[in-house]
Amino acid sequence: MFDNLQQKLNTAFKNLSGKGKISEKNIKEAVRDVKMSLLEADVNYKVVKAFIEEVKEEAMGVKVMESLSPDQEFIRVVRDKLIALMGGEKPAKIELSANPAYIMLAGLQGAGKTTSAAKLAKMFKEKGKKPLLVAADVYRPAAIDQLVQLSEQIGVSIFTGDKKDARKIVKDAKNFAEKNLHDIVIVDTAGRLHIDENMMNEVEDVKKIINPEEILMVVDSMMGQDSVNAAKEFNDRLEITGFIVTKLDGDSRGGVIISIKNITGKPIKFAALGEKIEALEPFFPDRYAGRILGMGDILSLIEKVEKDVDQKKAEEEAEKFMKGKFDLEDFLAQLKQLKKLGPLGKVMEMIPGVPKEGMDLSKGESEMKRMEAIISSMTSKERRKPDILTFSRKKRIAAGSGTTLQDINKLLKSFEQLKKTMKHFGKMGKRKMMKNMPDLPFKM
């Protein structure tokens, strides 16, 4: 996510590295590079022009703090302006007060509208609400079937009505929601490949029927300025309250999330980072500014760990690790916990200070898969007592895991070395250990 933009911006910042102070001469090239980086990321030209003027004006007017170098000061200015451009320090909230409260989803076909409806429903259910999904996309039968399947997956009620008339469906859904005491109703409306008058008339009628407190447009970050232009048209007709930006886990250049608030005046409220039903999170402009600039997002990583990792089990395993008393059964459990956080590359980009250039994270991913396959092919006894692994046992494990004897020996050797290292750290004690550890490229 944003890899190309990060690299381009880092090049711009390096031009100021080692300079004694920020001056008009040395900032000129950096500003030009930032401008080109944003344009290549498909940020709206007018947005870029205004942004660059603000950055240049503030950067020239600041006094470089003693604790910061000129390149760090310039990065601070760019970061602050990016945050402001994307909506400010705090995330935009969903405003719901009615009972039932209606949320209407709109957008073009293929943006991920139906999946986003289910993700929202799951999120509200986890907060103790009783959501109802309404399938009002009657032009794409697969959309209704998809929403039915997703509703079953998350255990949320769904209303499909006659599956023919969107206006009738939402009218009947209102009665159903009130009768069955649903406090939140999420309506999935029809989309098209392009904006047309029939679609807009229908969503306007749906809006009048349900009078939603939130009208969220789902936009595809991969479409760049086409998404921003569509957002402007939807906003002009519907007065939307915010956006859900999808497919940010793909090859997103960043143009949508940087431009859309400035162009429409409406904030991004949620970001979807994948197809999985739980892959939806509130949009924090400051955190995304950090990701765009390659500064990481440790707060999101902490929240992800707290949500996806079994804390009690993790603490028990950590104690075993520090005492060097863990076995391959424990190691396998750790690998599975780590997988819950998502692809290694996504985790690494959240850690501030970790260099992204030149890193081949695919090797780390394949190595983890190989280790998991090997350990999974062992019996419980073999995992607890790897010393019993004879040549014939290793041949059986290699055949079962699709690996080689060398792979198994390498894993066992690394595992024993890890046990010795952790046992040594445990004896040193936490304070002494931290004192003797080498400096990390990021602060914990």
The set of residues, in sequence order, having a beta carbon less than 8 Å from that of 353 and lying 6+ positions away, is 296, 440, 441, 442, 443
Percent above pLDDT 70 for the chain: 74
Q: Which domains does the chain have, with CATH numbers?
A: 3-86 (1.20.120.140), 101-295 (3.40.50.300), 303-436 (1.10.260.30)
- Rounded to an integer, the average pLDDT of 265-293 is 85
- Rounded to an integer, the average pLDDT of 243-264 is 82
The set of residues, in sequence order, having a beta carbon less than 8 Å from that of 300 and lying 6+ positions away, is 281, 284, 287, 350
The mean-pLDDT minimum among 17-31, 195-209, 346-360, 394-408 falls in 346-360
Q: Torsions phi, psi of 207, nearest 5?
A: -60, -45
Please report where in the chains the tokens 């029809």 appear, as a residue: 190
- Rounded to an integer, the average pLDDT of 18-28 is 65
Q: What is the reported pLDDT for 239?
A: 92
Q: What is the reported pLDDT for 397?
A: 93
The mean-pLDDT minimum among 121-125, 301-305, 397-401, 413-417 falls in 301-305
How far apart CA 22 and CA 180 sit, in angstroms, is 64
Nearest of 257, 272, 337 to residue 82 by alpha carbon: 257
How far apart CA 370 and CA 356 sit, in angstroms, is 23
**What would the pLDDT profile of 74-111 be if each residue is shown by its tens digit?**
778 888 888 998 888 788 888 888 889 999 999 888 88
Q: What is the mean pLDDT of the chain?
A: 79
The mean-pLDDT minimum among 244-253, 256-265, 417-426 falls in 417-426
- Rounded to an integer, the average pLDDT of 309-337 is 68
Asked if residue 98 lies in contact with residue 178, where contact means CB atoms within 8 angstroms, the answer is no
Q: What is the reported pLDDT for 379?
A: 93
- Rounded to an integer, the average pLDDT of 39-48 is 87
